[in-house]
Each structure stands twice: as C-alpha cells, then as structure tokens.
Amino acid sequence: MGIKLIKISVLYLAVGLLLGLYMSIVHDNTMTPVHVHINLLGWTTLTIAGILYYLFPELTDHLLAKTHFWLHNIGLPMMMIGLAFTVAGNNSLLLLTIIGSFATVIGLLFFVYNVLANLK
C-alpha cells in the first residue's frame, strides 16, 4: 500500500506542477487554491503516508489503512474538481467539493488514528 500511495502522489505532483506552470504562463492565479490543495493533500500528504506505510507495514494490517486509502483517493479528486469550478465562479459543483472534502478529512482522520493506535 505504501508504494501505491507514493506512486499516486507523484501523479498529483505532476498535476500540481502543470497547473502551477499554466497559471504562471497565463498570469491567472484563480486556481491557486486548487494548486495548493493538490500539492499539499495529493503530493505531500500521500507521500508521507506512503512512506509511513512502507516503513511500518504493521500499519497496513488494519481496515483503518484501507479506509484511509480509499476515502483519500476518492475524496481528493472530487474535492479538486468541485473546487476548480467553485473558484472559477461556478457553484454548480459546490456539493462535490463539500463531499470530497469530508471524505478526504475522514480518511485522514482514520490515518491519524491508525498511526496513534498502531505504530509501536
């Protein structure tokens, strides 16, 4: 699971870098919140979680890890798509942003609990 998360995280790195480059080229920083969340929750957070799952495989032996994996990887793209529409001035996908945000946060809370309860 750790390696999967690290590989997924570098995809978020590529998306975040390309979005940042695009914003720089067109001199439009409207998507800054999307860029920041992709880099922080996609690249950085998933990389750190992946490293912890790799270094401490006992963390992956729990339903907590699988729940974190799926909630994070389903919730984050939902949140980013909804947020992109929202910051562009179209609130039609605001509910997607909210649902994705809750899924991502709940997934990360499973990760937090897993680390606190099972990392020895």
The pLDDT assigned to 38 comes to 97
Is 69 in contact with 1 (CB distance < 8 Å)?
yes
How many other C-beta atoms can be found within 10 angstroms of the C-beta atom of residue 3? Answer: 11
Spatial CA neighbour of 35 closest among 11, 18, 10: 18
The pLDDT assigned to 19 comes to 97
The pLDDT assigned to 120 comes to 87
Please give the C-alpha separations between residue 88 and each of 14, 32, 40, in angstroms, as whole numbers.
21, 11, 20
Distance of alpha carbon 22 from alpha carbon 34, whole angstroms: 13
Spatial CA neighbour of 13 closest among 50, 45, 38, 48: 38
The pLDDT assigned to 87 comes to 95
Is 32 in contact with 9 (CB distance < 8 Å)?
no
State the pTM of this model: 0.91
Burial (CB count within 10 angstroms: exposed 0-12, middle 13-18, buried 19+), residue 16: buried
| pLDDT per residue as tens, the chain (120 positions) | 999 999 999 999 999 999 999 999 999 999 999 999 999 999 999 999 999 999 999 999 989 999 999 999 999 999 999 999 999 999 999 999 999 999 999 999 999 999 999 998
